[in-house]
Amino acid sequence: MSELRWDPLKLHWVIIATDRGRRPRDFQVETEAAEMTSCPFCYGNENKTPGEIFAIRSSGPPNSPNWKVRVIPNKYPALRIEGDLNKRGYGLYDVMSGIGAHEIIVETPDHERGLADLTPAEITDVLVAYRTRYLDLRKDLRFRYMVLFKNHGTRAGATLSHAHSQLIAVPLTPPVAATELKICREFYDTKERCIFCDLIEFELSAGDRVVREFANFVTVTPYASCFPFELRLYPKKHSHDFALMNDGQLSELAVALKDMLLRLKTVLKDPPYNFILHTAPPMQQRLGKPEYWSSISYDYHWHIELVPRLTQIAGFEWGTGFFINPTSPEDAAAFLREAEI
């Protein structure tokens, strides 16, 4: 069982693997990138993963080939689904059991294609799988937030090269989400407007950080980008919850997402990246323990944040919370706009 530990000076939670932890020599092995000879995410290897939770497939029973998208529990989960939180204090610290869910969304059976290479229809299937799992995990009232993210490339933390995303349900609202939700709430309290809607309107009128505008979505480089070629993909119309998108909206999003990934792949030669889906926490879960943003879903605005992993996060960034970005977002947007895709 892992533990969630709270640092009262940094104000962060850490998931600590207290059993079966990694020893010094395990880290020396990591430097040699080892590709598995047999990929557990390929057709025919369905028995090498835990049994599937969800799949979109053309034919056949669960855990057989012929699927298009497949969702499975992570074989080595950061958090485990069974048990109680057992919240307690420890000196000045806080600690609780590592309860949660950790799922893998295998985006395609094709070992050679990345998410950027899939067709919009195939990407739509991936987005449908995201939505399905969001809606299902919301039924578990121990979970306060779901983190959907993708690590592409070894440098971005992917341990398997076969295209996949991950969904982690956590028993606490994560600090990054809590800050955004709080600021949205305060802005709405004062102005009765969504701060993201204001930002999107400002970016559309400024124009120099817009990478591509679609009918209902827009891709921009953030004004205060922490990293070179950082990207945000926003729905233009106000929408607090990704999981409420209908099939038509997911099809449009698939086109915008492919456009963003393909521009990045073209301009930076398939760089490692992480993307994270930011969305409002579900109402049912918030009712578990009312928090001060308990009724603010309407003032949040879901979006996707993408960070290419081109530079190292060094001592300065870690020690300060400041970031040094050697490429202006205006330059990055120009390069991405002009990409021939």
Decide if residue 319 touches a copy of itself (CB under 8 A). yes
Tell me the window of 90-98, 103-111, 136-144, 245-253 that interacts with a copy of itself (CB under 8 A). Answer: 90-98
Whether 219 and 231 have beta carbons less than 8 Å apart is answered as yes
> Which of 97, 108, 151, 285 is close enough to bind a copy of itself by CB under 8 A?
151
Sign of CA pseudo-dihedral 131, 132, 138, 144: negative
Residues 26-65 that bind a copy of itself (CB under 8 A): 27-28, 30
Letter for the amino acid at 274?
N
Decide if residue 73 touches a copy of itself (CB under 8 A). no
Beta bridge partners of 217: 235
Number of residues located near a copy of itself, criterion CB under 8 A: 92
**What minimum distance in Å lies between the beta carbon of 159 and a copy of itself?**
9
Decide if residue 300 touches a copy of itself (CB under 8 A). no
Decide if residue 163 touches a copy of itself (CB under 8 A). no
**What minimum distance in Å lies between the beta carbon of 73 and a copy of itself?**
16
Torsions phi, psi for 197 (to 5 deg) = -60, -40
Rounded-to-integer distance, Cα 39 and Cα 281, Å: 34
Catalytic residue status for 164? yes
Comparison of 34 and 224: residue with beta carbon closer to a copy of itself: 224
User: What is the DSSP code string of 251-267?
Assistant: HHHHHHHHHHHHHHHHH
**What minimum distance in Å lies between the beta carbon of 62 and a copy of itself?**
27
Sign of CA pseudo-dihedral 174, 175, 180, 184: positive
Rounded-to-integer distance, Cα 322 and Cα 4, Å: 26
Catalytic residue among 102, 162, 164, 240: 164
Residues 225-284 that bind a copy of itself (CB under 8 A): 225-226, 228-229, 267-269, 271, 274-276, 278
CB proximity list for 213: less than 8 A, separation 6 or greater: 204, 219
Question: Catalytic residue positions?
Answer: 164
